[in-house]
Amino acid sequence: MLTTKGWLGLGCILLGLFWIYYTYIFMRNPKRTTPKGNNIVAPANGKINAIVRTKKSDQTINKGILGKILLQTGDVAKDCYYINIVMTPLNIHYQRVPYDGTVLYVKHTKGKFLNAVSGASSLNATLENEHTETLIKTKLGKIKVVQIAGFLCRRIFPFVKKGQKIKKGQDLGIIKLGSQVTLVIPAKLKLKVKEGETMVDGETIIATVK
């Protein structure tokens, strides 16, 4: 049995380990070598769990076991790909600009319980995760980066604003305790990645011109 001093000591050790993790792993933001040219780079560090082509103007994206977001894709193009990049606690949690352009809007949606719909079969149908959508006008067409936070841990900090000119590879924002980033691009572009591949933020080429 641990004594009071033993519990305090254990608590200090755990707190120290958490501080090391948070400071040197979670909050790290290494320099990246961003490729030049007409290519779109990964906005996030993690693994692709879905690549979907859609012609719907609105799309529901499930976020893990609990939660989802309601994503608008029609403001990017009539025919789009959306690419989900899932992060673990060991991944970089800063996001980067996929391509040079001008920010058309930054729209933040708070996490919330949605009205339950008739026939809903799970709690997932009534949850919406906090997320921030950044729409960017580029010479390759409009693209969108969606930062998605966990349902309970909701902290998204965008670094860009409407009307700002941005460069490929620069910091776009950070999700503290977040776990997914969705990239929406026009289907006219040529994909260079597949489901299951690991992305390096600011470096891995997602798509190029055909």
Residue 67 sits at φ, ψ, to 5 deg, of 100, 165
Q: Write down the catalytic residue from 57, 121, 122, 179.
A: 179
Burial of 72 (0-12, 13-18, 19+ CB in 10 A): middle
Paired with 134 in beta bridges are: 106, 145
Residue 15: in which H helix or E strand, if any?
Answer: helix 4-21
Sign of CA dihedral 146, 152, 158, 161: positive
What are the distances in angstroms from CA 29 to CA 25, 107, 110, 120, 200? 9, 24, 25, 40, 12
Asked about 122 being catalytic, the answer comes back as no
Q: Which residues are catalytic?
A: 179
